[in-house]
């Protein structure tokens, strides 16, 4: 980092002017009071709608944060690209995509629907993510008990985050499990259609899925995860090669087409960069070969995306030419 600084070879050469723009967008979006905090479990319903944070980490390790960037939130659906990445890295895309498709579903994230092949449409919706959990449980190190598999997974997440601290919110986990009729319905529906690699212990798979949703991080750690994806799988902070570049490419392709719920097409059109949102109000954005950004603000629009987060992305590409096309 230091030798690059002397050579003026940073990916964003004029960092102070760039971060000044980030600050301006941040304050502009802060005045946005649209949206509603998720209310299906009490722990999310209690979230302060005023929370708003943005963290940036470039592929050469330049970092900037503004707002509530050290308060932890649960990963929720932002865990989906991460578990998918682990499955790809360990099993390869041929195996993974025998079980899950690559097509946007055109439906809500928790809709009781499979594709024409009786597979979940993609790994970014609940059915697909539950299926990925079954692959991680049964095909990746099958000898591991669920507790071991939890450690295995959170360690992967930590390595993606450059060893920033990550946690687990047990109250959210317990609530998710209680409020999960639809997810269980999806789990059973997929078992009826022989979607899993074997006679799966469904209770374990569902618990594993809720555990992944209930892992906790803050904007600063999530920005590093996004930057690791922007950097082809090498963490810019630790320089550890966490994922293969082929796995990262597949993850970003599906974040691009399926990462923003049923707004993914419009987001790909207007913003044009891979992203994934979660119901706790987090929004992970990857600008390949440049940087990762994490935004967090609990109020969600009717499709489930963070209102301030989406507005921030639109401001960003209005000013900077990050749209892929």
Task: Measure the CA dihedral 164/170/176/178, to 10°.
Answer: 170
Among 77, 83, 231, 257, contact with ligand DON (rule: CB under 6 A): 77
Q: Is 95 a catalytic residue?
A: no
Say if CB 78 and CB 282 are below 8 A apart.
yes
Size of the site for ligand DON (CB under 6 A): 11
Among 213, 221, 268, 295, contact with ligand DON (rule: CB under 6 A): 213
Phi, psi torsion values for 216, nearest 5 degrees: -120, 140
Burial class (CB in 10 A: 0-12, 13-18, 19+), 108: middle
Q: Catalytic: which of 54, 261, 263, 271?
A: 261
Q: Which is nearer to ligand DON, 232 or 304 (CB)?
A: 304
Note whether 208 binds ligand DON by CB under 6 A.
no
What residues numbered 278-317 form the site for ligand DON, per CB under 6 A? Answer: 278-279
- Smallest distance, Å, CB 39 to ligand DON? 12
Q: Which is nearer to ligand DON, 22 or 260 (CB)?
A: 260
Note whether 264 binds ligand DON by CB under 6 A.
no
Among 58, 69, 126, 169, contact with ligand DON (rule: CB under 6 A): 126
What residues numbered 146-205 form the site for ligand DON, per CB under 6 A? Answer: 176, 183
Q: Which is nearer to ligand DON, 19 or 122 (CB)?
A: 122
Note whether 257 binds ligand DON by CB under 6 A.
no
- Smallest distance, Å, CB 258 to ligand DON? 10
**Nearest one of 65, 115, 59 to 248, comparing CA atoms:** 59
- Smallest distance, Å, CB 305 to ligand DON? 10
- Smallest distance, Å, CB 67 to ligand DON? 21
Among 43, 102, 110, 201, contact with ligand DON (rule: CB under 6 A): 110
The string of DSSP codes covering 235-298 is -TTT--B-S-HHHHHHHHHHHHHHTTGGGHHHHHHHT-S-EEE-TTSEEEEEETTTEEEEEE--
Contacts of 169 (CB under 8 A, 6+ apart): 43, 72, 74, 214, 215, 216
- Smallest distance, Å, CB 18 to ligand DON? 30
Beta strands in the chain, from DSSP E residues, in sequence order: 53-58, 63-67, 73-74, 167-168, 215-217, 275-277, 282-287, 291-296
Q: Is 26 a catalytic residue?
A: no
Q: How far apart are CA 302 and CA 45, in angstroms?
A: 15
**Nearest one of 127, 104, 103, 114 to 193, comparing CA atoms:** 114
Name the residues that contact ligand DON, by CB under 6 A: 76-77, 109-110, 125-126, 176, 183, 213, 278-279
Catalytic residues: 77, 80, 209, 261, 279
């Amino acid at each position: 980092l230091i030798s690059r600084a002397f050579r003026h070879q940073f990916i964003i050469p004029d960092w102070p002017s760039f971060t000044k723009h980030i600050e301006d967008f941040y304050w502009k979006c802060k005045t946005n009071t649209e949206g509603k905090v998720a209310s299906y479990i009490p722990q999310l319903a209690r979230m302060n709608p005023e929370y708003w944070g943005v963290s940036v980490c470039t592929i050469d390790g330049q970092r900037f944060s503004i707002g509530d960037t050290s308060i932890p939130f649960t990963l929720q659906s932002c865990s989906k690209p991460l578990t998918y990445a682990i499955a790809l890295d360990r099993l390869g895309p041929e195996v993974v995509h025998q079980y899950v498709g690559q097509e946007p579903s055109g439906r809500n994230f928790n809709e009781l629907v499979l594709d024409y092949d009786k597979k979940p449409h993609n790994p970014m919706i609940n059915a697909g993510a539950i299926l990925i959990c079954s692959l991680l449980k049964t095909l990746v190190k099958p000898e591991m008990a669920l507790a071991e598999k939890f450690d295995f997974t959170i360690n992967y997440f930590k390595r993606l985050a450059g060893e920033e601290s990550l946690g687990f919110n047990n109250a959210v986990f317990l609530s998710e499990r209680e409020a999960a009729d639809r997810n269980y319905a999806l789990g059973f529906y997929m078992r009826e259609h022989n979607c899993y690699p074997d006679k799966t212990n469904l209770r374990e798979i569902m618990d594993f899925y809720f555990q992944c949703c209930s892992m906790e991080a803050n904007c600063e750690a999530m920005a590093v995860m996004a930057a690791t994806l922007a950097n082809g799988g090498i963490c810019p902070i630790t320089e550890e090669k966490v994922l293969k570049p082929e796995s990262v490419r597949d993850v970003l392709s599906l974040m691009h087409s399926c990462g923003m719920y049923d707004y993914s097409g419009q987001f790909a059109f207007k913003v044009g960069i891979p992203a994934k949102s979660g119901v706790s109000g987090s929004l992970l954005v990857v600008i390949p070969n440049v940087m990762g950004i994490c935004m967090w603000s609990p109020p969600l629009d009717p499709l489930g995306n963070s209102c301030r987060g989406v507005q921030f992305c639109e401001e960003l590409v209005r000013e900077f030419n990050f749209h892929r096309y």
